[in-house]
Structure 1
Amino acid sequence: MKHLNTFRELRSFLLLWGSQTISSLGTAMTEYALTIWVYGETGRASSLTTLTLCIFLPTILFRFAAGTLADRWDKRRIMLCADLFAACGTGAILLLFQSGSLRIWMLYLINILLSFMNAFQAPAAFVATSLLVPQKHYTRASGLQGFSGAAVSILAPVLGSIFLTLGGLRLVLMLDLLSFAVAFLTLFCFIRIPAVPHAEEEKAESFWESCRSGFRYLREHRTILRITLFMTAINFLAKLGNDGMLAPFVLGRTGNNQQILGMVQSSVAIGLLIGSLIVTGMKPARDKVRVIYGTCALIFCGNLVQSLSMSPVVWCAAAIGSYIVAVIMNANLTVFLREQVPVALQGRVFSVRDTLQNGAIPLSLFLGGILADQVFAPLMASDTPLQALLAPLFGSDSGSGVALLVFLSGALGVTLSLVFFLRKHKDTP
C-alpha cells in the first residue's frame, strides 16, 4: 500500500521523467552519431571541440535571462516549445543529410540555436519537478533523475553504434525524432503542471528587476551564496583535474591504450548508476550542507588515489567510488536548494547559480590543457632536483605531468572541502 501511494503521488513526475529520459537517449545517440560523422568528414579534433562549444556556450550565456522568463511563463508551454524546436533542429539535419547538403557549419548553427532553447527548457523543467513532486520525495526524484542520466550515458554510445551500423546517420536521426514525439505527446496529453504560487505578483515586476532578483536572493541568503561559490571553485578544480583530464591521464599512462580508457570511462558510468540507485532508496540527510562539503572531500580523495597509482584496476575502483559519492553530493545539493528557494523564484535563482557554477568550466578546461602540456609535462621530463623528487610518486612517462596536475587539483579540492566542512554553519538560507 505504501508503494502504491508513493506511485500515485509521483505519477505525473514519473510520466515526465520517463518520457524525457527517452528523449534524452535519442538526443545523446544523435550527438554520438554526429560526433563520428563530423570527425569522419574533417579528421580534426578542433571540429569536435567547436561543436561541443556550440552546444555548451549559448546555454551558459543565455541561462541567466532564460531563468527569469521561465519563472514568468508557463512551464509546460516552455517545455513543449523546446521539444518542438529540438525536433525541428533534428528534422533539418535529417533533410540536409538526405539531400547531401549537410555541412559542418550548418551543424554549428543548428546546435547554437538548440543550445539557446535548452537555456529555457532546463530551468522550466527544474521548477516543474519542484511543482510535481511532494517535498518528502525530493531525494527520490533526484535519484531517479541521476539514474536516467547515468543510464543514458551508458546506453547512448552502445545503441548509437548499433543503429549506425544498421541504418547509418539517417536511422539515428529518425529514432531521435521518434523520441521527441514521445516526450512531446506525453507532456501535451497526460501531464498538467500546477501553477506557481504568487506567479502573478512576480509578473508585475519589470524584466530587469526580475533578473536582478535572482542575484539579490543569493546575496541576501548567505548559506546558499556560500554553497554556490564553493561549487564554482569545486567545478573549476574538477575540470582542471581528473574530470577534465581523464583521457590524457589514462592514455598517457598506458601508451595510448584506448581499451583501458574505455574501461575507466565505463567505471564512471557504473559509479553514477550505483550512486543513483542508492540515492533513490535513501532517506534525506538532516544536515545536507555538511554532507555536500564532506562528499566533495571524498570525491577529490578518489582523484588523489588515481593520480598516485599506475594500476588500471585502481583507476576503475577510484572512479566508481568517486562518482557514487558525487551522485550523493549532487542529490543533497539539489534537495537543499529545492527546499530553501521559493518555487516562484527557483527559475532565476537556479539560473544564476548555474551561470556562476558553470561559467568557470571553459576557463578551467583551457588552463588544464596549457598547464598539462606547457608546465607539468616539461617539468616531469626535465633533469632537475624537483623532477627527481616527484618522479617516485608520479613516474616519468608521458602521463606523469597530467598525473601531477590531477594530484594538485585533488589536494586543493580536499583542502577546500575540509575547510568548509569544519567551519560552523546552519542548514538554513
Structure 2
Amino acid sequence: MNGGLGRFVLIWLAQLVSLAGSAITGFVLGVRVYQLTGSATQFGLIMLSEAVAAIAVAPIAGAAVDRFDRRRILVASDVIAAAATGILLLLLAGGELQVWYVYPVAVITAACGTFRLITFTTMLPMLVPPEHLGRANGLAQAAMAVQIAAPLAAGVLLGTLGLRGVIVVDLATYGFALAITIALPLPAKARRGPGGTAEQPGAWAELRGGWTELRKRPGLVPLLWVLGAFDFCFGVAGVLIQPLILTFASPATLGLLMFAGGGGMLLGSLVMSLWGGPRRRMTGVSLFLAVGGIALALHALAPSPPLIGILAPAFLFTLPVVTGCVMTLLQSKVEPSALGRVMASARIVSQAATSLAYAIAGPLADGVFEPLLVSGGALADGVGDLIGVGPGRGIALIFVVLGALLVALAVVAARAKALRTVEDLPDLLHREGEPDAAELAAG
C-alpha cells in the first residue's frame, strides 16, 4: 500500500474505533438517564449539552490545530476523554453514579471529540496525495454510519456486558486509538502546519480566522451554507424517522431499518472512497442533493417497512458523497496555514444546523404537521388523499417538505454563479513549500 495512504488508513481506523466506542457509550448513558428519570427533557439535555460544547470549543480547536503539534492534540483529546469516562466507571462501580454526573462527562467527551474531528480533517489532506483526496474524504464519512449503527450495537453490548462492560469497551477503544496515534510515523506537515512557525495574529483574530480565510475566496462561504442546509434537513429527518417508523412497525423492525440506513451510509462512504467523486465536485454536490431529496420525499408514499428499507439507505447513501465533495473543495481551496480554523468553521455551521434541527423537529411535528393530517384536519382532504391520514402522516408530510428543500438546494448549487465557479479557484493545498506526493509516500 502507498505509504501516505497506509498512514491515513491507520489514523482513520484509530479515530473510527474510538468514535464507535464513544457513540455506543453515549447511547447507553442516554438510555440509563431516561430509565432513571423517565424524562425526555433530561434525555434531550444530554444531546443539547454535547452540541453546545462542540460549537463552543470549535474555534479554539481550529486555532490550536493550526498552531500546535496535531499528534499531541489527538493524544490529549483521547487521554482527557478516557479519563472522564474512567471516572464515570469508578462512580458506577462504587454505586455513586447520579444522573447529573453524566452531563459533565458528556460535555468533556463532546469537546474532545470536536478537537479530534477537526484535527483529523486538517491532517487528512496532508496524509494523502491530491489525486486521492476525494477518496479519503469519502472514507472519512464512515464515521457517520458508525454513529447511526451505534444504537443496535449498544443494545447487543448492553444485554451481554451490562453498562460497566460497555464503558470498559469504550476505554479499550481509546487505548487502541492512542497506540496507533503515538506509534505511527507522520510527515512533518501533517503534524504541524505552516501556521505553527509564522507570526501569529491576536487571539480574537485567530479565533475568527476561518471565516476571514473563507471570505477571501468567493463561493466558499455559500458552499458552507449549502452544507449547513443539507445538515439541517438531515438532522430533522434523523430525529423524526424513528417516530415515523414506530407508527406502523415494531421496535424490532425499527432496529433493523436503522441498521439498513447505516448500511446505506457505509456503502456511500465505500463507493466514494473507491470512486473519489466526480472531477467537478459541485456537480456531485448538486446531483446527490437532488437524489437525496427525491428519496426523502418518497418516504411519505406509504407506511411500509419495505419502502423505508429501500429509501432510507438510498437517502443516507448520498450523505458521504455530498459531504466528501464539500470537504475536498474546502481542503484544497484554502491556505494550509488556516486549514484547521476553516475546518472549525465548517464544524460550527454543521453542528449549529443540526442542533437547530434537533430543537425544532419535535415541536414542528407534534404542534403543526401532525394535527394537519388527523381525521378532519386542515389537510386531511387533498394531501391526506395522497399520503394518508392518521398517526405519522404529518411527519410524512415533513419528509415531503424536506425533500423539496433539498431539490431546491440542488438547483441553487447547480445554477448559482459563485458556487458553479468555486472549483475554478486556485488549488492551494500542495503549492510550493507544501508536501508533494513523493514526500507523502515516503513520509
| TM-score calculated relative to the size of structure 1 | 0.91
The corresponding residue for 2:83 is 88
Alpha-carbon distance in 1 for matches of 2:277, 2:135: 9
The question of whether the paired residues in 1 share the 8 Å contact of 2:85 and 2:167 is answered with yes
Alpha-carbon distance change, 212 to 362 in structure 1, aligned in 2, over 3 angstroms: closer
For the Cα contact (< 8 Å) 1:130–1:343, is it kept in 2? no
In the superposition, the TM-score normalised over structure 2's length comes to 0.88
- Measured against aligned partners, the alpha-carbon deviations of 1:32-75 in whole angstroms (never above 9, x if no partner) come to 33233222222322222112222222101221232112211111
Aligned counterparts, 1:12-411, within 5 A: 12-147=7-142, 149-151=144-146, 153-154=148-149, 156-195=150-189, 196-240=192-236, 242-252=237-247, 254=248, 257-381=250-374, 383=376, 386-411=379-404
Q: Equivalents in 2 of 1:54, 1:410: separation in Å? A: 29
Give the SS at the match of 2:219: helix
- SS where residue 391 of structure 2 aligns? coil
CA positional deviation for 1:84: 0.4
Secondary structure, counterpart of 1:404 in structure 2 = helix
Deviation at 1:193, TM superposition (A): 4.7
Deviation string for 1:310-367 (max 9, x for gaps)? 3221211111211222222222122222211222111111211221232133223322
- 1:126 and 1:415 mapped to 2: Cα distance? 29
Range moving further from structure 2, 204-213 or 222-231:
204-213
1:200 is displaced (CA, Å) by 4.0
1:1-38 CA-partner distances (Å, limit 9, x unpaired): xxx4x3x2322222212222222222223223323322
Q: Is the 8 A contact 1:268 1:320 kept in 2?
A: yes
Residue 85 of structure 1 contacts residue 117 of structure 1 at CA under 8 Å; is this kept in 2?
Answer: yes
Give the aligned residue type for 2:127. Answer: L
2:440 maps to none
User: CA 1:336/1:99 → structure 2, altered by over 3 Å: closer, same or farther?
Assistant: same
Partner of 1:222, secondary structure, is coil
Alpha carbons of structure 1 residues 243 and 45: separation in structure 2 relative to 1, 3 Å: same
Secondary structure of 2:141's counterpart equals helix
Contact 1:290 1:421 in 2 (8 A): yes
- C-alpha deviation, 1:158, in angstroms: 4.6
Confirm or deny: 8 A CA contact 2:138 2:272 kept in the other structure: yes
**Secondary structure of 2:389's match?**
coil
Give 1 or 2: higher helix fraction: 1
Name the SS of the counterpart of 2:208 in structure 1.
Answer: helix
Whether the 8 Å CA contact 1:223–1:428 is kept in 2: the answer is: no
Amino acid at match of 2:227: M
The separation in 1 between residues aligned to 2:381 and 2:148, in whole angstroms, is: 41
2 CA distance for matches of 1:177 and 1:384? 51
CA contact (8 A) 2:60 2:207 kept: yes
**For 2:4 and 2:196, how far apart are their aligned partners in 1?**
27
Counterpart residue type for residue 42 of structure 2? S
Gapped runs of 5+ residues in structure 2? 426-443
**Contact 1:16–1:191 (CA under 8 A) maintained in structure 2:** no
The one-letter amino acid of 1:391's match is G
Instruction: Rate the CA distance shift 1:383–1:25 in 2: closer, same or farther, 3 A.
Output: closer
Count of matched residue positions in the alignment of Structure 1 and Structure 2 = 420
